[in-house]
Structure 1
Amino acid sequence: MPITTCIFDAYGTLFDVAAAARVAASEPGREDFARHWPRIAENWRLKQLQYTWLRAVMGRHADFWQVTQDGLDWALEAEGLDGDAQLRERLLALYRELECFAEVLEMLRALKKVGHATAILSNGTPGMLDAAIRSAGIADLLDDVLSVESVGVFKPAAAVYDMVGARFGCAREEVLFVSSNGWDVGAAASYGFATAWVNRAGDPVDRLPARPDRVLKNLRGIPALAGA
């Protein structure tokens, strides 16, 4: 069955989650933070994801903005920088306007040129996603933005992936699901989507019940996979 619908994870896939810490580290007066930023960015993302999984298992949902703040607070404390309220607020402000990866615009334009439906399916809140999309200038290249807040549970719950068929009326086999998160792609593949893992770091494939159909270094190969 041909691909009709291309669905993208947002954070780490379209938007560079390390950009907030990287930009803050380059600003005047943040020389101390500059020595810590790679570790903070790594821990921030790790804790952010861990808290989504744990909250889903515990049945204690909080929106992704709260989880993002909680992850940052852990990361700053781990580096002894939790007393800098101004730094915290700056990092959170930058996170709402993350840079998109360089190939995103060209890739989405190629998909829209041949008539594919395109959408984001994300843990992010509608407000977070709207801010990032406007900042990146990709709003007119997306048919919809689907947030887990509609179902009240984070990925990889099946209820999240159900949102795609409910919105686009497509069979699972018509969907190409794209994520930089190996666990997300594994879950989507198990669900029945065609999948592409954007493995920018060259990590091993996660040991999950299903594996990604394709592994790419970036998003440039997505139009070809989708038949564009």
Structure 2
Amino acid sequence: MPITTCIFDAYGTLFDVSAAARTVAEEPGREEFAKHWPSLSENWRRKQLQYTWLRAAMGAHTDFWNVTQDGLDWALEAEGLDGDDELRERLLMLYRELDPYPEVPPMLEAVKAQGMATAILSNGAPGMLSDAVASAGIGAHLDDVLSVESVGVFKPAPQVYDMVSERFCCDISEVLFVSSNGWDACAAAAYGFIAAWVNRTGAPMDRLPGRPHHVLEDLSAIPALTEG
């Protein structure tokens, strides 16, 4: 079947998760933080993801905004920066308006011009996703923004991927699912989607059920995959 529906993960795929810490590090008077930001950003993202998996396994769901705050608190303490409430609030504010990767707006415009249905499918809470989409100015190129809060469990639970065919009334074989998370792309492929992994860092393939059909360096090649 031809591809009719193009679905994107949000954080790390459309939105640069390092942007919040990097922006703070570039602000005047943040010279000390600038020494810490790369490791803090990496730990923040790592703990954020770990907590989604662990909470899903524990049956202890909370929304992604709470997980994001918990991950940041761990990362701040690991860097000896806990207790700086102003820094914490600044980082969280910026996380709600992350920069999109530069190729995102033209890529989405091109995919929509092909007549594709487009949407985000994300662990993100609805409010934070709405803020990110508005800040990036990409809402006009999306038919929907789907959050796991509708099913109460994080990816890669299959009921999250079920949301796509339920929303767009399409066969799963018609869906191109795009993620920068190797584990997400593998799970989507195992589920039955055509999966594209945006491997921006040249990471090894995850040893998981399913294997992405496409491995890309960035999102600029997506329109070539969706054109009829």
Q: What is the TM-score when the length of structure 1 is the normalising length?
A: 0.99
How many Å separate the matches in 2 of 1:216 and 1:68? 27
Q: How does 1:11-22 map to 2 (within 5 A)?
A: 11-22=11-22
Classify the secondary structure of the residue corresponding to 1:7.
Answer: strand
How far is the alpha carbon of 1:83 from its aligned partner?
A: 1.4
Which letter does structure 1 place at the counterpart of 2:41?
A: A
In structure 1, the residue matched to 2:53 is 53
In structure 1, the residue matched to 2:166 is 166
**Structure 1: stretches of 5+ with no match in the other structure:** none
Q: Deviations over 1:37-61 (max 9, x none)?
A: 0000000000000000000000000
How many Å separate the matches in 2 of 1:186 and 1:97? 28
Q: Deviations over 1:90-125 (max 9, x none)?
A: 000000000000000110011111100000000001
Classify the secondary structure of the residue corresponding to 1:82.
Answer: coil
Q: Deviations over 1:184-228 (max 9, x none)?
A: 000000000001000000000100111100000000000111126
Classify the secondary structure of the residue corresponding to 2:100.
Answer: coil
How many Å separate the matches in 1 of 2:211 and 2:158? 16
Which letter does structure 2 place at the counterpart of 1:196?
A: A
Classify the secondary structure of the residue corresponding to 2:121.
Answer: strand
In structure 2, the residue matched to 1:66 is 66
In structure 1, the residue matched to 2:43 is 43
How many Å separate the matches in 2 of 1:49 and 1:114? 33
Classify the secondary structure of the residue corresponding to 2:73.
Answer: helix
How many Å separate the matches in 2 of 1:88 and 1:95? 11
Which letter does structure 2 place at the counterpart of 1:10?
A: A
Which letter does structure 2 place at the counterpart of 1:50?
A: Q
Q: How does 1:208-227 map to 2 (within 5 A)?
A: 208-227=208-227
In structure 1, the residue matched to 2:199 is 199
The list of structure 1 runs, each at least 4 consecutive aligned residues, that deviate by more than 4 angstroms after superposition, is none
In structure 2, the residue matched to 1:92 is 92
How many Å separate the matches in 1 of 2:43 and 2:19? 14
In structure 1, the residue matched to 2:105 is 105
**Structure 2: stretches of 5+ with no match in the other structure:** none
Classify the secondary structure of the residue corresponding to 1:197.
Answer: strand
Identity of aligned residues (%): 73
Classify the secondary structure of the residue corresponding to 2:90.
Answer: helix
How many Å separate the matches in 2 of 1:110 and 1:170? 21
How far is the alpha carbon of 1:84 from its aligned partner?
A: 0.7
How many Å separate the matches in 2 of 1:186 and 1:115? 26
How many Å separate the matches in 1 of 2:99 and 2:213? 27
How many Å separate the matches in 2 of 1:222 and 1:204? 21
How many Å separate the matches in 2 of 1:102 and 1:33? 26
Which letter does structure 2 place at the counterpart of 1:80?
A: G
In structure 2, the residue matched to 1:139 is 139
Q: What is the TM-score when the length of structure 2 is the normalising length?
A: 0.99
How far is the alpha carbon of 1:14 from its aligned partner?
A: 0.1
Q: Deviations over 1:25-47 (max 9, x none)?
A: 00011111000000000000000
Classify the secondary structure of the residue corresponding to 2:176.
Answer: strand
